[in-house]
A and B are shown apart, each in its own frame.
Chain A
Amino acid sequence: MPFNSLSYLFFLPAVFLLVSLSRGKLQWLGLLASSVAFYAAFRVPYLILALFFVTAFTFAAGIRIERSNTPRGKQALLVTGILGNLLVLVLLKYLPFFSYTLNSLLGLLTSELFFPQASVLASVGVSYYVFQAISYLVDVYLEVEKAEPHFGYFALYISFFPKLLQGPIERCGTLLPQLKEPYRFDYDNVRSGLVLFAWGLWKKLVIADRLAPALNTAYGDVHGYSGISLALATYCYAVQIYCDFSGYTDMARGTALLFNIELTENFKAPYSATSVADFWRRWHISFSRWILDYIFKPLQMYWRSRGTVGTVAALLVTFVASGVWHGASWGFVIWGALHGLYMGVAVLYKPYQKKIHGFLGIRKGRLLTVWQTVITFHLVCFAWIFFRANSLSDASFVVRSLVELPAGNLGLASLAKLINIYGRNDALIVVAALVVLLGVGALGNRVRLFESPVYLRWPCYLALVFMIVLLSTFHSSSEFIYVQF
């Protein structure tokens, strides 16, 4: 059940009433039942089975790890727990990719299929809760957290519906205690939650979904476009994926706040980052923290004797793994590898940065910050090309077109074609919405909406509602991009 669906509009108030009206000890049960119903709404029975398996298996593994007396036993249980979870992920998400790749490689020798081509199964939400389960097992193993003895609370921690489909990937230390708190109606939380939900919905429906046709048109037929139109489509994608994903996260956080639960803030103005490392501190924060803690740090420790080279190698492996997590495609792998490469180069460059800046006469200041932001944004956009393109050959065509841009091959005719297909009205609405988004971002924490007087607050509420009602693309609203990962 996507957050931007009509059914969710009925589902959410029903769950809110159910939890508000149920007595203390049964509140977790209300939330758990609602979460299962929310997931079951996708009508894919094996997904419910997978969720149940991951929950039960991780719950049992966590308790056994805690009870195990020997370090070797603990370690074996941890490995078993992680492998069990990864097995679910591989079966649901990567099997079609593996069989396709093996068949393609072996197909070079013969035209016969060696492995039956696995169908692409729906794996909505699986990568998120599997990662959450793994983090739980590692935390229990490292004795950072205690194993949860109550199966109901643990099941709710894994399946809590606001974060089930697209995260944030929550650590048990932050989410579990909140789930155990008896629910008490909190007007401020509910108000903040509703406004946050509406803001996320606005980002999704007014900006992301309105941008989608332009870039889908260009990326759907890259050979029909060139130069500036492909550059524009790539910028559009950067904005779309941000508004789509951060919009979802706002809606998830808003929903959770209705139940007094604070989920991790997943985005902090990522495109204002001044380096790729800074970008990852602001983009999909719960995921970047996860890969930092559970992939990068152990690898860095393992290769610590190799110094900077070890760190660079750890970064590369971590980001390739992050690409693979996004999906079984070479485009994602290259996207991850590019980010790893950016970070690795930055690590190697760091010791010489001061000297080079000094030599070139570059001083710290606003101009340098703007320059770094622009460069970072373009590096991120370059990687998005591989993330978004339908195939590697499409991606390489886009890159070639962009490389030819400075040579004067602007492709203005294809830009006119793109604008003609897209429509000026949509473009106008998106530009206006982006101005609002940037304006709100610039105001940041300087204006506290809920503390301002009613004659300022209410027009803001009304403006938000009317912007959603009048400017959204309800008729052609698409599913959230990150739900497929």
Chain B
Amino acid sequence: MGKLFLKLATLGAIVLTVMYFITGFLDWLSTESFRLEKPFWVMNQRGKSYDFAVIGSSRAENCTDVRTIEKVTGKKGVNLGVQGACFADNLIMFRRFLNNGNSTRVLLLEVDEYALDSRNSFLDPFKVQFYLPYLDDQWVQQIVADNISGTRYHLWRWLPPTKYIEYNTMYLTYCLQHGLGMMGFDFDKTGGSRLEANQAPFVFDAAWVIKNRKKEKTIDGKDLKYLNRLISYASERGVKVLLYTAPQYHEKLKYLENHRDFLAKMEEISHSCNIGYCNYEYDDLTRDPALFTDASHMNAKGTVLFSTKLAEEVRKAL
């Protein structure tokens, strides 16, 4: 049996050595150069100064146009929103953004019923796969530990190659695309906003909404905790926070069980943290189906109209 263990140990040692080397290489490459995916683009920004930054989930990334706000206000901005990101994601990305020598005076934080119930609203609520290279950072470690299973966390922590083994295809693909010089969406050109390209006319379908809602929506304690942490963190770093809720088609509000609780909670946070809150869920824009791509996302035309309105609040905040 000794011979077997010796051979298994040798095999294991060779595999681990190679995997540690690959892990180091991927940690270095992804923190230095990956920009194809939005989270990497956000976390790999370096040494830039902005007047305002937009953050949140898809309704920040897709429905808030930085270039329109820049045009109206004459100030420089960046969109740090990521589709399907929860507040824990936003917190990690915003911290990396600031720690990379970037700065912003105002943070426009998009809050809505979905982001406050991310586990029921998003397919992939916590985007842990993007933080694998940052697991040495205790701050990131703590948030990751809070959002994934203990077994996975400890495996990744004490045997780092396992994190890339789990997400092998994703990182191999990134390496391949990076090596081939492939370009994804040009976030540099749009300032991080990705306006909806879909031009198909939108028709509200109540039956579809009822059929596709996963669970009765609530206010998730964990999402609320990270929203508060994000606000506190920005305030501590001298960034003025402005909360806003992007428009969604007015009919949809009837089907959001946590809408009333959400409004009350936003009122409470805005009051207790002494920060502004603009809710566009009752704006006139929400009544025009021609401005939407689906019930909770505006199309490019709607986004530009909404961003023009939001720009006035940005101007006031600056």
Measured between beta carbons, the chain B residues less than 8 angstroms from A191 are 4
Q: 1/0 per position for B1-45, CB-CB distance to A under 8 A?
A: 101100010010011001100000000000000000000000000
Q: How far is the CA of A472 from the CA of B97 in the complex (A)?
A: 32
A-B Cβ contacts below 8 A, count: 45
B165 partner, pick from A426, A462, A469, beta carbons under 8 A: A469
B272 at interface (Cβ–Cβ under 8 A)?
no
Which of these binds chain A: B169-177, B189-197, B224-232, B257-265? Answer: B169-177
User: In the bound complex, do residue A425 and residue B14 qualify as a contact, i.e. CB atoms below 8 Å apart?
Assistant: no
List residues of A (265-314) whose CB comes within 8 Å of B's CBs. Answer: none
Output the least CB separation between A189 and chain B (Å). Answer: 10
Q: A187-B3, A191-B4 are in contact. Are A425 and B11 (CB under 8 A)?
A: no
Contacts of A465 in B (CB 8 A): 11, 15
Contact yes or no, B1 A20, CB < 8 A = yes
Inter-chain contact B167/A6, CB cutoff 8 Å: no
Docked-complex contact B15 and A426, CB < 8 angstroms: no
B176 interface neighbour in A190, A425, A462, A466, Cβ under 8 Å:
A425
User: Which partner residue on chain A sits nearest B176 by CB separation?
Assistant: A425
Q: Is B166's CB within 8 Å of the partner chain A?
A: yes
Q: Kindly state whether residue A474 has any CB partner on chain B within 8 Å.
A: yes
**Do the beta carbons of A469 and B19 come within 8 Å of each other?**
yes
Residue from A20, A187, A470 in contact with B172 in the complex, judged by beta carbons closer than 8 Å: A470
Question: Does B199 touch A at the CB level, under 8 Å?
Answer: no
Say whether B169 contacts A426, CB under 8 Å: yes
Specify which of A185, A426, A472, A473 is in contact with B1 (CB 8 Å cutoff). A185
The answer, yes or no, to whether B168 is at the interface (CB within 8 Å) is yes
For the complex, give the distance between the alpha carbons of A20 and B1 in Å.
10
Query: CB of A63 within 8 A of chain B?
Result: no
| Most interface-central of A20, A185, A187 (chain B CB within 10 A) | A187
Which of chain B's residues has its CB closest to A210's CB?
B169
Assess whether B11 is in contact with A469, with CB atoms less than 8 Å apart: no
- B243 to A: closest C-beta gap in Å: 34
Q: Please state if B11 and A461 are interface contacts (CB–CB under 8 Å).
A: yes
Q: Is B138 an interface residue when CB atoms closer than 8 A count as contact?
A: no
A190 to B2, CA, bound (A): 12
Say yes or no: B14 contacts A462, CB within 8 Å.
Answer: yes
A469 near B15 (CB under 8 angstroms)? yes
Number of interface residues of A (CB under 8 A): 22
Q: How large is the interface on B (under 10, 10 to 19, 20 to 34, 35 or more residues)?
A: 20 to 34
- A474–B165 CB distance below 8 A: yes
CA distance A325 to B312 in the complex (A): 68
Chain B residues, CB < 8 A from A461: 11
> In the bound complex, how far is the Cα of B19 from the Cα of A92, in angstroms?
45
**Cβ-neighbour of A187 out of B4, B167, B169 (below 8 A):** B4
Contact partners of B4 in chain A: CB under 8 A: 185, 187, 190-191
**B15: which of A6, A185, A466, A475 is its contact (CB, 8 Å)?**
A466
Asked whether B212 is an interface residue with its Cβ less than 8 Å from the other chain, the reply is: no
Chain A residue nearest to B168 (CB atoms) is: A470
Q: Is B151 an interface residue (CB 8 A)?
A: yes
Least Cβ–Cβ distance between A198 and chain B, in angstroms: 10
Known interface pairs A185-B1, A465-B11; A6-B151 also in contact (CB < 8 Å): yes
A429 proximal to B (CB < 8 A):
yes
Interface string of B155-189 (1 = CB under 8 A from A): 10000000001111110110010000000000000
Interface string of A159-190 (1 = CB under 8 A from B): 00000000000000000000000000101001
Q: Which residues of A contact B11 (CB under 8 A)?
A: 458, 461-462, 465
- Would A475 and B167 count as touching, CB distance under 8 A? yes
Q: Which residue of B lies closest to A194 (CB)?
A: B8
What 1/0 mask marks residues of chain A from 9 to 46 whose CB sits below 8 Å from any chain B CB? 00000000000100000000000000000000000000
B151 neighbours in A (Cβ, 8 Å): 6
**A residues less than 8 Å from B8 (CB atoms):** 194
Measured in the bound complex, the distance between the Cα atoms of B176 and A187 in whole Å is: 41
**Does A50 lie at the interface of the complex (its beta carbon under 8 Å from any beta carbon of B)?**
no
Q: Chain A residue with minimal CB distance to B171?
A: A470
Q: Which of A6, A426, A458, A475 has the most CB of B within 10 A?
A: A475
Contact in complex: A425, B168 (CB < 8 Å): no
* A95 within 8 A of partner (CB): no
Q: How far is the CA of A470 from the CA of B168 in the complex (A)?
A: 6
Closest to B151 in A: A6
Residues on B with beta carbons closer than 8 Å to the beta carbon of A392: none
Within 8 A of A (CB), among B67-90: none
Q: In the complex, are the beta carbons of B169 and A429 less than 8 A apart?
A: yes
Which of A187, A425, A458, A469 has the most C-beta atoms of chain B within 10 angstroms of its own C-beta?
Answer: A469
CB<8 Å pairs between A and B, sample of 20 = A20-B1, A185-B1, A187-B4, A194-B8, A425-B172, A426-B169, A458-B11, A462-B11, A462-B14, A462-B15, A465-B11, A465-B15, A469-B19, A469-B168, A470-B172, A471-B168, A472-B165, A474-B165, A475-B166, A475-B169
**Top 6 closest pairs, chain A to chain B, by CB:** A474-B166, A425-B173, A185-B1, A470-B168, A469-B165, A465-B15
Known: A20-B1, A425-B173, A472-B165. 15 other contacts (CB 8 A): A185-B1, A187-B1, A425-B169, A426-B169, A429-B169, A462-B15, A469-B15, A469-B165, A470-B165, A470-B172, A471-B169, A472-B168, A474-B166, A474-B168, A475-B166
